[in-house]
Structure 1
Amino acid sequence: MDRLFDSLKGFFKKPPINIDNLAYRIHYRATFVVLVAFSLMVTSRQYFGDPIDCISKDDIPSRLLDTYCWIHTTFSIENAWKKRVGEEIPYPGVDKTTPNEKRIYHAYYQWVCFVLFFQAIFFYVPRFLWKAYEGGKIGQLVQGLNSPLATGHNDEKLLSLAKYLKFYENTHNHLFYFYTLTEILNFVNVIVQMMIMDRFLGGEFTTFGWNVLNFTEWEWSARFDPMIKVFPRLTKCTFHRYGSSGDVQRHDAMCILPINILNEKIYVFLWFWFYAVAVISLLMIIYRFATILLKPLRISNTHSYCRMVDKYDLEDMFERKPIGDWFFFDLLARNMDPINFKNLIEIYNQKPSPHSKV
């Protein structure tokens, strides 16, 4: 287990080649690691701990009852949620059996570890698509140029890079628009996953965090912990078996779900985390469209990576270039030493002599 968590720490290290932004990394690094870590925690508690304990007044082996109720799910009684504990009911959602009772079954806890893991995978998909589409081109072009040392050797590389950029100018729009598409995909992924979690938890996830926050402000007489409804610690289970006379006997049992203490903490955190990630992703999309419409914003963004370059030189260079070329230069600026990037801009902007092949 320690090795698994140690391997997850590697995702937080700064990438040697930066082809995205902080908002993007929140998806495929931070959120991915959080979800995988939660999945491992639930898995260890579920398969190596004691996730359920059921008791019955009848002579049913406890191990058999635990296994049966875990597989066939437990349930709560809807009209017992807000009855007075200790007077009318022993626990919220647990009441005596009646003919017209409406049961709410809790089947999610069997699947939490798997759902969290697959959620993590989907948070990495946009990054996988973008990295595959970019193909490591930026890393190949800036190799050895992220350090100001060995300037003589770097001059040759910078000249070759400038020739490459001139030869392939006006051909990078596809990179920019595919990157923008994956940023939109990041946002869509968060929203869809929130909808899936809401369905997974019986329609309770959308307002779960607000309900938990408001819980502390309710009057004591009207208090009802929203986490108990979504993640009950005590539920009911019905077990049927043949009696000594051959007839089918019904046995009611109460089940304690210690695993829900962990589940509720996980999903409270995920509610706040997912909403924060959704807001950040939306702001990033708005910013991306702003860079499409506002050329000064593009210039300022690239200039922030290399203050040594004259801003007016960048404005002059990108005046008539398509947005794809700006995006490509912006990626280079993120991954090159500022001195080397400044020299690259100077070489690129040089007017070719009549005898030059550049």
Structure 2
Amino acid sequence: MSDLLGHVPSFKKLRGKPNDDGLDRVSHVISVVLLIIFTVAVGTGTLIKDPIVCWNPAEFKDHMESYTKWNCWVKNTYYVPMTETIPVNIDERQQAELTYYQWVPIILLFMAFLFKLPNMIWRLFNGGSGLNLDKVVFFAEKAQFDTPDDRDKSLFTLARFMDKWLDTNKEYKWNVFVRTKHQVSRFMCFFCNKRAGKYLTAMYLFVKVLYVANAIGQLFLLNAFLSTNYSFYGFEFLENMARDGPWRESPRFPRVTLCDIRIRQLNNLQRFTVQCVLPINLFNEKIFIFIWFWLIFVAIVASFNLLYWIYLIVLTKNKHDYVKKYLKINDELHTNFDKKLAQKFAENYLRDDGVFTLRIIARNSTDMVVTDLVKHLWKIFKEKQNTKKNRELEPTMDNSMDEAKEPLT
């Protein structure tokens, strides 16, 4: 039964890999799903029903009517309002041509690809930190449903794994170059590698910038494609709707257009102008209006999310406070020495990438999991500190014992 139920469709399966936060999924999951739905709707309407219907002259036969319909669909039509006279000049007709309606499904798919692209870059390059973030988050997420004993064992194993990862990515050489790089990393983390403990955070902020650039860039491209008189299309639509009503025909998405048919008969070239209806534009107009306002919403959400993560990552105090919060929950901070040790735990042991990993785990599981994980990492850190202190004391104790063995004179 569990195997059968495992194949039941659910929205959870569309969220992608659990290696980012929920607001990222507004771009690379929800937006992509919406655009694919629109693509299927427009594409199905184009393939199943007649995408264009033309009013033909009386002398046209059945085969000529079919030829006219598909010729106008492929060749493009042009729009002239009913209140205006059809231009005699052919160049004026060509300037009024509508060249987009055949390509709407491809345009929507390309927009969906652009929304998915930042997430693809994140998934391709976050492994450069030496940590498989997908599996770490999945392992932590799965542990929350185990029994208390099994959860404790699983998180202890995960803490040991993260400890090895943090140790592997430490700087073991300390010279002028390394010292300068660490100073620069306080303000310009994009120039640091994984040994500086900022690879994941720098890559994540870069991807956040891509989400913002994608939403704003698509908004301007769509505005250039849809707008008239160099105004923002969405606001222009609201203005026209308030003035003329919501069902006014748009010059960008006209439903009634004109098409010139040229038919060669022997040495004569005959030109016919026919009137056509584009039913698909009734849906195209509503779809692109929705997409325009959706891009505004995504751009605002992505921008605020970027600023929020910059605030979390750049300010060192946020890193210390985040770690101390979980240590207080575990009742590990009793003295001023413990508080200073907690700062060292966050700054020198976990560093930016370690704290970032904890934040991503918390956003994809629960704070309870992160609380237990921090408890195990804190225990490992304190054991290392005690071992280091004992090693530093050994030479002093040996010297004291040698002095005690010297004969008195």
Whether these two folds match at TM > 0.5 is yes
Indicate the SS of the match to 1:217: helix
Q: Which has the higher helix share?
A: 2
Q: Deviations over 1:97-147 (max 9, x none)?
A: 433873311010000011101211221121122123334823433526532
Give unmatched runs, 5+ long, in structure 2.
1-6, 171-194, 334-338, 391-409
Residue 121 (structure 2) aligns with: 129
1:209 and 1:272 in contact (8 A); partners too = yes
1:54 and 1:65 in contact (8 A); partners too = yes
Give unmatched runs, 5+ long, in structure 1.
1-6
Q: Percent identity?
A: 23
Residue 404 (structure 2) aligns with: none
1:197 and 1:205 in contact (8 A); partners too = no
1:212 and 1:226 in contact (8 A); partners too = no
| 1:332 is the counterpart of 2:332 | no
Indicate the SS of the match to 2:262: strand
State the shift of 1:323 in Å.
2.0
Structure 2 distance, partners of 1:141, 1:339, is 16
2:223 and 2:232 in contact (8 A); partners too = no
1:53 and 1:256 in contact (8 A); partners too = yes
State the shift of 1:32 in Å.
0.1
1:146 and 1:336 in contact (8 A); partners too = no
Q: Deviations over 1:175-210 (max 9, x none)?
A: 111111111111112222233333444767961111
1:194 and 1:206 in contact (8 A); partners too = no
Residue 207 (structure 1) aligns with: 232
* Structural RMSD (CA): 3.6
State the shift of 1:173 in Å.
1.4
Structure 2 distance, partners of 1:157, 1:163, is 10
Residue 261 (structure 1) aligns with: 282
Residue 88 (structure 2) aligns with: 98
Which is higher, the Rg of structure 1 or of structure 2? 2
Q: Which residues in structure 2 correspond to 1:1-358 (within 5 Å)?
A: 10-11=10-11, 13=13, 15=15, 18-60=18-60, 61-77=64-80, 80=81, 89=83, 95-99=85-89, 102-103=92-93, 104-135=96-127, 137-141=132-136, 143=139, 146-147=143-144, 149-169=146-166, 171=195, 172-201=197-226, 207-218=232-243, 228-243=250-265, 246-298=267-319, 308=329, 316=343, 317-320=345-348, 322-350=351-379, 351-352=382-383, 353-354=386-387
2:200 and 2:353 in contact (8 A); partners too = yes
State the shift of 1:294 in Å.
2.5
State the shift of 1:39 in Å.
0.4
Structure 1 distance, partners of 2:211, 2:269, is 53
Q: Tell me the matched-pair count.
A: 333
State the shift of 1:161 in Å.
2.9
State the shift of 1:318 in Å.
2.2
Indicate the SS of the match to 2:259: strand
1:122 and 1:189 in contact (8 A); partners too = yes
State the shift of 1:19 in Å.
1.5
1:159 and 1:344 in contact (8 A); partners too = yes
Indicate the SS of the match to 2:203: helix
Indicate the SS of the match to 2:251: helix
- The alpha-carbon distance between structure 1 residues 310 and 180, as it changes in their structure 2 partners (threshold 3 A), is farther
- The alpha-carbon distance between structure 1 residues 270 and 16, as it changes in their structure 2 partners (threshold 3 A), is closer
Indicate the SS of the match to 2:254: coil
Q: Could you tell me which amino acid in structure 2 is paired with residue 175 of structure 1?
A: L
Q: Could you tell me which amino acid in structure 2 is paired with residue 327 of structure 1?
A: F
Q: Deviations over 1:206-235 (max 9, x none)?
A: 6111111112332x6xx8977521100001
Structure 2 distance, partners of 1:236, 1:134, is 53
Structure 2 distance, partners of 1:205, 1:30, is 30
1:232 and 1:257 in contact (8 A); partners too = yes
Report the more deviating stretch, 348-357 or 24-33: 348-357
Structure 2 distance, partners of 1:71, 1:194, is 28
Structure 1 distance, partners of 2:313, 2:259, is 58
Indicate the SS of the match to 1:216: helix
State the shift of 1:156 in Å.
3.6
- The alpha-carbon distance between structure 1 residues 200 and 17, as it changes in their structure 2 partners (threshold 3 A), is closer
Q: Deviations over 1:249-286 (max 9, x none)?
A: 11110011101001001011001001111111111121
Residue 4 (structure 2) aligns with: none
Indicate the SS of the match to 2:108: helix
Structure 2 distance, partners of 1:205, 1:73, is 24
